[in-house]
Structure 1
Amino acid sequence: MEFETKGCAGMSQGGFRSRRLVFRRDGAEEAVRFSRSREWPRSELVDASDENAGAWEVGGSVTFHFALDVASGESCCYFQGLVQEEVDRAFLEMCDLFDTWTLAELIEGVRSARSSGDLVAAVFRLGLGAPPVFTARFYNTLCITADHKHPMVRAATMRTIAYMEWPELHEMLDVFVRTDPDERVRREASLVIEAFERVGIRRP
């Protein structure tokens, strides 16, 4: 098992959400094919005509979700439900059945990136696939891009924090709003703080 947080569900607006699994390639067809193989009915939580998202009823309160993140171009899937144990069980039973980046690969992608463009793509994947609760190895990797000399990378880091949804990252956002020399980075950090406050992600 990768790290101690592999199956840990975190709080979300819809109850509890598993870690997002980030597809190596466009995951829409894989998610639909997998749901049909399980004979899961479509959930009304997402409009069936939405090409960038989908949801299916797994059982109990648990739903399976697919989403394409338009900003990064990355696609992912996750489980969500009202009971944490049910979400954890569904995730652990099925997380190895998808062609997705592992936790170790998400971290290594940032550490081995050769260009600013590669680093931006890697940090977006890192944020989307991060555990839903604070994890030191992911935080330490995020700090690599937060300290980068290129403002494009730092701005991408701020947006990545929005994906991670960790209350512990409020402090980093506050620092960037106050001290980053680039206006775009400061603006991105400020927008994430506003988003956190809007959905109730408060400072610890």
Structure 2
Amino acid sequence: MADEINELAQSYGWPVVYETDRDFDRGIGREVNWGVTEQVVLGYLESHISNDCCLVGVGNDPELAERVVRQMDDDLEDEIESLAELLAAIQEDEDPRRLAQSLVRAGFGAPREFDEEFFDAFAKAARENDEYRVRDIAISSLVYIEWPEFKPMLEEIKAHDPEEQVRARASMVLRAYEAAGM
């Protein structure tokens, strides 16, 4: 999808200002940023796990960043999953592989403001799933959501999950939240 978004960005006159390829071994997905203005960047993030992607607008002009993302939503309307579809996938899918992919997509596409249903679905996957890799991916996906309501849950997981990898992931996400000023 990066190529399609690049074509759109080029049609608006936005140059690529940063690009990195996916590095699975280092846990890094593909990232491309286009300079909308000196104050706003349109960012494309692609998961190294699932190949799913998201767009974000960031910068010193939040209103313009929001308008840019809304424009991309309109331009890519047929290719963007709705919040209802994202939520249904993480609530209903029991296959660990598909659930993990759905969690990544839902992390990318979750609402900016706290949403009880998304919170409950992520909390269930992060705390209760029998497959530790699903718990790990659920926690990893929280880095994109950044709701302070997740912090107590992450602290609990960091202290009590039976898998070291999951405890370490909760610690990593908590550090990311701290770095983001949460």
Q: Percent identity?
A: 27
- How many aligned positions are there? 171
TM-score scaled by structure 2?
Answer: 0.83
Q: Give the aligned partner of residue 57 of structure 1.
A: 35
User: Does 2:77 correspond to 1:103?
Assistant: no
Q: Give the aligned partner of residue 33 of structure 1.
A: 7
Deviation sequence 1:185-204 (CA, Å, 0-9, x none): 1121112122222x2333xx
Q: Could you list the runs of 5+ residues in structure 2 that have no partner in the other structure? A: 22-29
Give, in angstroms, the shift of residue 60 of structure 1: 6.4
Is the Cα contact below 8 Å between 1:66 and 1:78 reproduced in 2? yes
Q: Give the aligned partner of residue 23 of structure 1.
A: none
Q: Which amino acid aligns with 1:101?
A: E
Q: Give the aligned partner of residue 106 of structure 2.
A: 126
Displacement over 6 Å in runs of 4+: none
Give, in angstroms, the shift of residue 107 of structure 1: 0.6
Give, in angstroms, the shift of residue 174 of structure 1: 0.4
Distance 1:41 1:190 in 2: 36
Q: Give the aligned partner of residue 131 of structure 2.
A: 150
User: Does 2:159 correspond to 1:178?
Assistant: yes
TM-score scaled by structure 1?
Answer: 0.75
Q: Which amino acid aligns with 2:164?
A: E
Is the Cα contact below 8 Å between 2:55 and 2:69 reproduced in 1? no
Distance 2:90 2:113 in 1: 19
Please give the secondary structure, in 1, of the residue aligned with 2:16: coil
Distance 1:144 1:168 in 2: 14
Is the Cα contact below 8 Å between 1:165 and 1:201 reproduced in 2? no
Give, in angstroms, the shift of residue 120 of structure 1: 0.8
User: In the alignment, which of 168, 171, 179 is matched to residue 187 of structure 1?
Assistant: 168
Instruction: Name the stretch that deviates more: 67-76 or 136-145.
Output: 67-76
Q: Which amino acid aligns with 1:174?
A: E
Deviation sequence 1:72-114 (CA, Å, 0-9, x none): 4322222122122222222233312212222111111112213
Larger RCO, structure (CA 8 Å, separation 6 or more): 1
Distance 1:155 1:59 in 2: 37
Distance 1:32 1:93 in 2: 14
Q: Could you list the runs of 5+ residues in structure 1 that have no partner in the other structure? A: 1-26
Q: Give the aligned partner of residue 69 of structure 1.
A: 47
Q: Which amino acid aligns with 1:33?
A: E
